[in-house]
A and B are shown apart, each in its own frame.
Chain A
Amino acid sequence: MEVPDQRLPTATFEDLALPLFDQLYNFARWLTQDSAEADDLVQETYAKALRGFSSFQAGTNFRAWIYRILRNSFLSSRTGLKNTVVFDEEDHDSIPAADSATPESLLIDQVNRAVVQQALEELPVHFREILLLCEVEEMSYHEISETLAIPTGTVMSRLFRARQAFRRLLLAKLQGGRHGV
């Protein structure tokens, strides 16, 4: 669900940024995995966005813009730096075939919600964030590419890998196994 240009001529920063507060916090918390850090990250994001709002280009996507600020702030934080990995090897790879046998049907109920959350927590942060942007924020590939500052092709391949990794983790948890990502 792409939100094309949310910046109306009369829209203020408050109009655009406040409705995203809950989602931004949720995303920040998933990235940091820590309540206090998430608080700091969200505050830093709003402060930076507020300062940079004058440079925000009308006609571009505000949501992608502020998510990118949050993500960049996270990546430059202590926790973010620990989680930073180089993704070059995966980018532009041809997309491998999907697993034919998947465990999704086994787990989709509220009982397994906690397991899904655990699996998400254990995903490397670059997989976690792209899954959240796609599934929770319902961003289009184009929006994700703007947020993560990567080409759309890379969005597709990284998303694919993230899903694969997530499935494996989930399957391992559901089967009580110890498969790595």
Chain B
Amino acid sequence: MGCEVWRDKLDLYLDGELGPAEASELTAHMRTCAACAAGALARVQLKRAVASAGMRYQPGATLREKITRSVAAKPRRVFGWQWRILALPAVLVLLASVAVNWYVGRESARRQRVYSELADLHVAALASATPVDVVSSDRHTVKPWFEGKIPFSFNLPELQGTQFTLVGGRVTYLAQTPGAHLIYQVRKHEISVFIFQDRGAETATLPSGPTHAMSFNMENWTQNGLRYFVVGDVSADDIQALSNLLQDAK
């Protein structure tokens, strides 16, 4: 290959674009051709001059900061957005969990307070020299006694043929709400039955069902707009049996 052909390929050679076979041929040629070697040298010098002179401008700090901020901000925004989407259920779960815990905690504390108060009322009544204000085993005596003393009426069960006896009743208060406090007896054990109006009172949203609190068994339910609590140190079965009688009272 003559010099003219090689000279046309010098740029490709120096730009690293010549194939390896041709490149090594050209390298060999330049060892024997001063003109092509000089041409290559001149081109290398030109390339280096442009490379050096071409790196001329430096960006200002303000622009650098702007660009860095804009570039860094976007992925974070994207990430932040995705993170929010991904985290949303977790946050909701967390919030719900906190809310539920708070609610459950609050409800539990409230329930505990109510039960505790009822237990206090039960114990206080039994410890009193006059546990009941109306002493009668006759429901037809006790029930009318409450008329005018509490803002509601209720039915009491017929106890004949059961192990329970009615001791009497008194007016009581739970969270500033007046109610009826009845005392029954079973095998020398006293059982308190509390009846309150089941609206807006502290007792209104208490879950129904048996409970064991402070060594007392308790049962409570709502019936005809009234909230019933049965509290005593007897067995849960006795509590339940009395509760059933009360629920069936007509």
Contact = CB atoms under 8 A, between A and B. Distances in A.
Contacts of B72: 14
Contacts of B56: 26, 29-30, 117
B63 A136 contact: no
Interface string A132-166: 10111010110000000000000010011001001
B179 to A, nearest CB: 69
B1 interface: no
A12 B72 CA distance: 10
Interface string A11-38: 0111001100110011001100001001
Contacts of A12: 75
Contacts, number: 122
Interface in A43-63: 43, 46-47, 50
Interface residues of A, number: 47
A104 B50 contact: no
A163 B14 CA distance: 13
A12 B45 CA distance: 38
B200 interface: no
Nearest to B15: A134
Question: Which has the most chain B C-beta neighbours within 10 Å: A17, A108, A156, A163?
Answer: A108
A78 interface: no
A135 B55 CA distance: 10
Interface string B48-86: 111111111111100110111011101100000000000
B110 interface: no
Contacts of A166: 46, 50
A95 B74 CA distance: 46
Nearest to B12: A156
A179 interface: no
A141 B15 contact: yes
A98 B10 contact: yes
B201 interface: no
Nearest to A103: B42
Contact of A50 (B46, B53, B74): B74
30 contacts: A14-B74, A21-B67, A21-B68, A22-B58, A26-B55, A26-B56, A30-B54, A30-B56, A39-B59, A39-B63, A43-B63, A43-B70, A46-B70, A47-B70, A50-B70, A97-B8, A102-B46, A104-B41, A105-B41, A105-B42, A108-B46, A113-B53, A132-B54, A135-B51, A136-B50, A140-B17, A141-B17, A156-B17, A163-B11, A163-B43
Given A29-B57, A135-B50, 6 more contacts: A13-B75, A14-B72, A25-B59, A42-B59, A46-B71, A167-B46
Interface of A: 1, 12-14, 17-18, 21-22, 25-26, 29-30, 35, 38-39, 42-43, 46-47, 50, 95, 97-98, 102, 104-105, 107-108, 112-113, 116-117, 120, 131-132, 134-136, 138, 140-141, 156, 159-160, 163, 166-167
